[in-house]
Chain A
Amino acid sequence: MSNPPSCRNMEYLIGIQGPDFVLVAADNVAASSIIQMKHDYDKMFKLSDKILLLCVGEAGDTVQFAEYIQKNVQLYKMRNGYELSPAAAANFTRKNLADYLRSRTPYHVNLLLAGYDETDGPGLYYMDYLSALAKAPFAAHGYGAFLTLSILDRYYRPDLTREEAVDLLKKCLEELNKRFIMNLPSFTVRLIDKDGIHDMEKLPVGPK
């Protein structure tokens, strides 16, 4: 039972960049046609100590592509002794996606890359399946993005604290719970700052 193209957008990714951190969240549903096969599926891939790649899209492409990027970033570190910066990793990812785009096996994946750099600070990169790359203060993927981008527009400020960012995230997820047709019961939330990647409490948005 292969998923039709419209099914690819049912997943949700969101990222919010603060002055010295990036907050990212992804839903936990792995679906096949109309069935939720898994409720605790992790869509984030750790590229390095301070870079996360969030990947959604076509069923097999996500894992294949994300793991390919992950292993290559780690190989770079092994060969050169130092890690790729988030900007470099984002551009590397974009180049690979673009190369495959006009091949026989394009990868249909939508990505958010979030990282913290010592010199540049936090960075959030939005990338879509046509390998368009944009550095953005906040970003979202999936049908859920239609519902939440305006909330982010209204309440986002560049100098958000961590608590405010989490509150903003909760607002977005509440709106999803209220208006989005798919049931997305829980979200994995992670925060990246100068100390690395921190797992935060999963956000199950309960009924109001």
Chain B
Amino acid sequence: MALQDVCGFLETLDDISPCTYLPNEMGYMWRTPFEFDRDSAFHFLFPPQQCSRKNRAPTLFSSTFSSLSPHQQPFQLSHGTTTLGFIFQDGVIAAADTRASCKGLICCPISQKIMPIHSHLVVNTSGSGADCMLWERILTREMRLYQLRHRKRLSINGAAKLLSTMLHPFKGTNVCVAATLCGWDGEETQDTLQSCMEIADVKEAVEQDSNVSAISDVSAQGGVKMASINEQDEISKDTQALNPTVSNQNTKNVLSTFGGRSGPRVCYVCSDGLQLKGEIISVGSGSPYAYAVLDDGWRWGMTVDEAVALAREAVFRATHWDAYSGNNVDLFHITAHGWRRRDREDLKEEYYREREREKKKIKEREKERQKREGDELVEGEGDIYSVHCG
């Protein structure tokens, strides 16, 4: 297909890193592991220096444009996951599946892809599991250091910039991290403002898919774990620009009336260097499926239940279609008070529940159709050969 060719879409999937063999002192061709400059305390923050290879003349295998010779990967790294994060009037929802895959094998069906960094920030990770765990810890350390030095928390955008800058030296190497920082920015102010929940109950008709409402019923039964709560009493939200029937422009008004200092934030950072702030971010092989659901159902003025239901459904649909996503769904909700975690849910159950719901709906529609036909016959049309649609 033209677009596929022009984008080179399938090129990446078939890409195999070239195998490079380097001669050691004895002249044998061995694959050499990365050599670390162990003297530097921050040696893991920089790509390994090629000190031992300085004196070698450039060989056929060294290339101008790569800082390191990649060694043969035993398997293809890919972002086999579905993670998503979005903001709305009452905070941020971060959701992810729990399947860790390695080509065709499910390495771990119960991995945790959403890690809390501090009380008001969680990070959704995808990419290489080891890289993600390491960089989460590095980010946590750097943010804590910032907080200790400057006596205030680093903002989400600042954290994204920090992570992006730390990852930049590794561009071109095999570090594979795609992180979505979801959190609440800023200190809570003492402005007296309307509570968000009042805004949510607004006159506007809620267009809800019955599926979504059904899921939200079930989700209401799910447990909610309070992991950390701030001592602040009030929830401060700026309501001047808040309008549930908001367009993109109004959302920006809201975010800017937060003064850029306080409010929900979602930020995407990739080891490629891509850094994006947005309202809805989804990453991974299942992200196209999730985007489709999110784009359809997202509104700024959603209630918490609606948002949770939307996130669950997005992950559910993605896990249905994507082979590399599945098992359970984790869900975090971050507000000005901190993050709260919902109990992990098995999506297999959800799949069967949905099948039952569909069966019930078909039966109901059938009954309705028969009833309608029955009524029309009674009305005296007498034409039993007429066909009714729907």
Contact = CB atoms under 8 A, between A and B. Distances in A.
Contacts of B169: 105
A102 B42 CA distance: 26
Interface in B266-316: 268, 270, 272-276, 278, 281, 285, 287-288, 291
Q: Report the contact-size class of chain B (Cβ under 8 Å from the partner).
A: 35 or more
Given A4-B11, A60-B275, A181-B3, A32 B171 contact: no
A4 B64 contact: no
Contact of B272 (A2, A10, A102): A2
B12 A4 contact: yes
Contacts of A30: 274, 276
Interface in B46-96: 64-67, 78-79
Interface in A57-75: 58-61, 63-64
Interface in A159-196: 181-182
Contacts of A205: none
B78 A1 contact: yes
A5 B178 CA distance: 19
A4 B15 CA distance: 10
A60 B67 contact: no
B390 interface: no
A140 to B, nearest CB: 17
Given A38-B278, A60-B275, A181-B3, A32 B9 contact: no
A40 interface: yes
A170 B150 CA distance: 49
A153 B20 CA distance: 48
A91 to B, nearest CB: 24
A118 B363 CA distance: 77
Contacts of B291: 35
A119 interface: no
Contact of A1 (B2, B6, B65, B79): B79
Contacts of B248: 40
Contact of B164 (A2, A5, A38, A60): A60
A61 B164 CA distance: 11
B294 to A, nearest CB: 12
Contacts of A34: 7, 9, 288
B8 interface: yes
8 nearest CB pairs, A to B: A60-B273, A4-B8, A59-B274, A104-B67, A6-B8, A59-B272, A4-B11, A59-B273
Interface of A: 1-7, 10, 30, 32-35, 37-38, 40-41, 58-61, 63-64, 102, 104-106, 143, 181-182
Interface of B: 2-3, 6-9, 11-12, 64-67, 78-79, 164, 167-169, 171-172, 178, 248, 268, 270, 272-276, 278, 281, 285, 287-288, 291
28 contacts: A1-B12, A1-B78, A1-B79, A1-B178, A2-B272, A4-B7, A7-B7, A7-B8, A30-B274, A32-B270, A33-B12, A34-B9, A37-B278, A37-B281, A38-B278, A59-B270, A59-B272, A60-B168, A60-B274, A61-B171, A61-B273, A63-B164, A64-B168, A104-B66, A104-B67, A105-B172, A106-B64, A181-B3
